[in-house]
Structure 1
Amino acid sequence: MRHKDDAVRVVAAGVAMTATVPYLTLKLLWLTGSEVGVRDPGALDGLWTLNLLTFGMDAIALALTLAFVRPWGRRAAAGLVAFPMWVATGLLGTILVAVPADLLSSLVLGPEHRPPGQHADDGLAGWVFALVYGGFGVQGIALITAFVLYARRRWAGLLRARIGDLPDSPTRNVQRALAAVAAPVALGVAAARAYWAAGGTVGLPLRWADDRGRSIATMEAVTAAMAVVAAAALLVLAFRIGPGRRLRVPLTAAWIGAGSLFGWGGYQLVAFGTSTTVPDLPGAVPGLMVLVQAGQFSAGLLMLAAGAIALTEWGAHHHPADVESPG
């Protein structure tokens, strides 16, 4: 069984590495001044910083795949592996939910020809979005598969534990306080995203309000669902609800949901803040979008703090043999 898992992990890592190449190549071309895949020469204006950021993020994902298959990967500090993978899971996991949902809506309601996040006037060729989101889909499945098999080996004890096994320590009240703040913020974000998914336009940029496709609505709905899942899972963990239940179910839900909040909230704040072509906002509640993005990022950050405290204490209270599987 171990040999089979190792083989699958190596193959998944190889697929994930291959899937990053087209995206990294495209970003590198844009960073060096190329306009390949650009229909509107002004489409890349003001996006150099954002392109550099996304290039760096995918380069980190490439490095993660090596950590999952090389011996030094199991010796690396847990945080150096867990944090970037947490963000990657949130970003890619959201896409892995949104893209099939968007395709399903196209089958039922007819094609719209807009991948999640694309607006009609983005000025990029259609194949760019097929390459980017197709690559993200393959990369997401492969990278997450490799990580799951890596985690099953490195943190086997944690994944076998039950909620009641979490240490009862002085920081438990801190964890609960963080959860008590993060959960309502996440639910507020979910309410706003659900409102926009249902067709509401208050607080949206004017061009988004005037040009909202189903793909945008799908992404908003998935983000709202991620926020609800993250809030519920965090409360279960922080308040030890159902102590006899397996820890891995709420832990996985919190991992994906909180990663989505933090990753997409942070990305959208940077994208909105660095763009030189940010459209005007409607007069009613003009700062609502930025407020929601900031709340999304903040909720994810608070969840990160609560999780880091809990998992650090777990490691301190358990012998390495109880945390990692042998071999």
Structure 2
Amino acid sequence: MRINETVVRAGAAWTAVAATGPYLTLKLLWLTGHPVGSDDPAGMDRLWLLNLLTFGMDAIAVALALAFVRPWGRRAPAGLVAFPMWVATGLLGTLLVALPLSLLSTLVLGPEHGTAPDDKGLGSWVFVVVYGGFAVQGLALITAFALYARRRWAGLLADRIGDLPRSPTLAVQRTLACVAALLAAGVAAARTYWSLGGTAGVPAAMAQERNRGVAVMDGVTAVMAVAAAAALLVVVFRVRPRRRLLGPLLVAWTAAGSLFGWGSWQLVAFGATTTRVTELRMAVPGLMPLVQAGQVVTAVLMLAVGAVALTERGARAGAPDVESPR
């Protein structure tokens, strides 16, 4: 059984590394002035900073995949592995949910008419390569991490909700969790409104470009906000203490990571892309950036609560953060 797990983990990790190849190659070409797949070279030049950022993000994914199969990965500080994987789980996990829903909506409702797939003049094959790679990368990387976590943090994954200590910081944890839940409710309300076709707070030009895929992403984000808040409240208020901790922990991990990853990405993208987007932000009320910032703040509060709770649990258990000798 242990040999099979090791083989699966290695296969998943190396599959994740291979899945980054086409994306990294495409970004490297764009960064070096070769706008392959684009009919707007000037637009690619303006996106140089974002292309560099996304190249770096995928390079970090490669490093994470290697950490899950190399000996140094088991000795790496927990935070050095957990934080980037938290973000990666949120970004890639959201795509793994949104992409099938977008495809299903196309099958049921038919293709959209009168909407360009992209405002940068990218060929349709680019989207197949990029998002197909993301789908494979997400499935493989998350699988490798799950098997890595099962070996490194086996004790935590076997705990029940009631096993978490009722420490002096519990009142603070509950307060922060309630604040995060209120912010998450606001994010969910705004994203639900936009997913149903509402355009208040959306720049006029961007509202004209909104399509079914964007609506699906808004809907998924709304669900993530509600799920993250509910799971965190279950943990901090010790709801059903005999229940396994793994379920709400996975939900909070993925959903809060989604809020942080996509909220941060959208804020950076809006602030570092073309002049056109900057002008749009200046010309309209700032509701959309506020919602994106609300996602990030919500996720950071959730991360703080989770980090404190799990650190206290580890301190009480007295177990070292290393793989079991068995």
Given the alignment of the two structures, is residue 199 of structure 1 paired with residue 197 of structure 2, yes or no? Answer: yes
Give the aligned partner of residue 291 of structure 1. Answer: 290
Q: Report the 3-state secondary structure (helix = DSSP H, G, I; strand = E; otherwise coil) of the residue aligned with 1:86.
A: helix
Deviation at 1:54, TM superposition (A): 1.1
Give the aligned partner of residue 173 of structure 1. Answer: 171
Deviation at 1:325, TM superposition (A): 3.9
Match of 1:233 among 228, 231, 234: 231
Write out per-residue CA displacement over residues 70-122 of structure 1, whole angstroms, 9 at most, x where no aligned residue. 1111111110110000000000000000000011111111134999xx85423
Give the aligned partner of residue 99 of structure 1. Answer: 99
For the 8 Å contact 2:224–2:255, the answer to whether it is kept is yes
Change (3 A) 1:113 1:125: farther
Alpha-carbon distance in 1 for matches of 2:113, 2:13: 31
Alpha-carbon distance in 2 for matches of 1:181, 1:217: 27
Given the alignment of the two structures, is residue 138 of structure 1 paired with residue 136 of structure 2, yes or no? Answer: yes
Superposed counterparts of 1:23-62, under 5 Å: 23-62=23-62
Give the aligned partner of residue 22 of structure 2. Answer: 22
Q: Report the 3-state secondary structure (helix = DSSP H, G, I; strand = E; otherwise coil) of the residue aligned with 2:276.
A: coil
Write out per-residue CA displacement over residues 166-209 of structure 1, whole angstroms, 9 at most, x where no aligned residue. 11111112211211111110111111011000000011122221
Give the aligned partner of residue 259 of structure 1. Answer: 257
Deviation at 1:324, TM superposition (A): 4.9
Change (3 A) 1:150 1:277: same
For the 8 Å contact 1:157–1:323, the answer to whether it is kept is no
Give the aligned partner of residue 216 of structure 1. Answer: 214
Give the aligned partner of residue 150 of structure 1. Answer: 148
Give the aligned partner of residue 159 of structure 2. Answer: 161
Alpha-carbon distance in 2 for matches of 1:45, 1:67: 34
For the 8 Å contact 2:201–2:287, the answer to whether it is kept is yes
Write out per-residue CA displacement over residues 211-262 of structure 1, whole angstroms, 9 at most, x where no aligned residue. 2211111111111111111111111111111111000000000000000000
Count of aligned residue pairs for this structure pair:
324
Q: Which amino acid aligns with 1:223?
A: T
Q: Which amino acid aligns with 1:61?
A: A
More deviation, 256-265/30-39: 30-39
Structure 1: where are the runs of 5+ without partners?
Answer: none
More deviation, 37-46/193-202: 37-46
Change (3 A) 1:144 1:8: same
Give the aligned partner of residue 75 of structure 1. Answer: 75
Give the aligned partner of residue 66 of structure 2. Answer: 66
Alpha-carbon distance in 2 for matches of 1:320, 1:74: 15
More deviation, 269-278/287-296: 269-278
Structure 2: where are the runs of 5+ without partners?
Answer: none
Alpha-carbon distance in 1 for matches of 2:72, 2:293: 36
Give the aligned partner of residue 243 of structure 2. Answer: 245
Q: CA RMSD in A?
A: 2.0
Change (3 A) 1:2 1:83: same
Change (3 A) 1:185 1:129: same
Alpha-carbon distance in 2 for matches of 1:253, 1:47: 34
TM-score (norm 2): 0.95
Q: Which amino acid aligns with 1:247?
A: L
Alpha-carbon distance in 2 for matches of 1:301, 1:228: 15
Give the aligned partner of residue 87 of structure 2. Answer: 87
Identity among equivalent pairs (%): 67
For the 8 Å contact 2:78–2:321, the answer to whether it is kept is no
Match of 1:182 among 172, 180, 183: 180
Alpha-carbon distance in 2 for matches of 1:83, 1:260: 13
Alpha-carbon distance in 2 for matches of 1:319, 1:261: 32
Give the aligned partner of residue 124 of structure 2. Answer: 126
Q: Which amino acid aligns with 1:53?
A: L
Alpha-carbon distance in 2 for matches of 1:32, 1:219: 31
Deviation at 1:2, TM superposition (A): 1.1
Alpha-carbon distance in 1 for matches of 2:230, 2:118: 35
